[in-house]
Amino acid sequence: MRKLSELAPGDRGKVVTVAGDAEAARRLMEMGLMRGITVEVVRRAPMGDPLEVKVRGFMLTLRRAEAEHIEVE
């Protein structure tokens, strides 16, 4: 398993866990990042933060710190 923050643009992964404190995890899940959902990294900012991912057909921008709480396979 890898963290979402480790994927390169064009890579896809299936969400395995959403970790972090309860409030942060709940917020990420409210944005559609739930176990079993496929996400694709679309692009990264030049310094790697933030990154843009495609989830359920829409684009979502995450900070690297948020993406490190999401494990994918």
Asked if residue 67 lies in contact with residue 33, where contact means CB atoms within 8 angstroms, the answer is no
**Separation CA 73–CA 68 (nearest Å):** 14
Instruction: Give the CATH number for residue 10.
Output: 2.30.30.90
Structurally, the chain folds into a number of domains equal to 1
Distance of CA 65 to the CA centre of its chain: 10
Tokens standing for residue 71:
């494990």
- The pLDDT value given to residue 4: 92
pTM of the entire predicted model:
0.86
Helices (H) and strands (E) in the chain, counts: 2, 6
Residue 50 preceded by cis peptide, ω within 30: yes
pLDDT tens-digit readout, 36-52: 999 999 999 988 789 99
By residue range, what is the domain housing residue 51?
Answer: 2-72
pLDDT at 10: 95
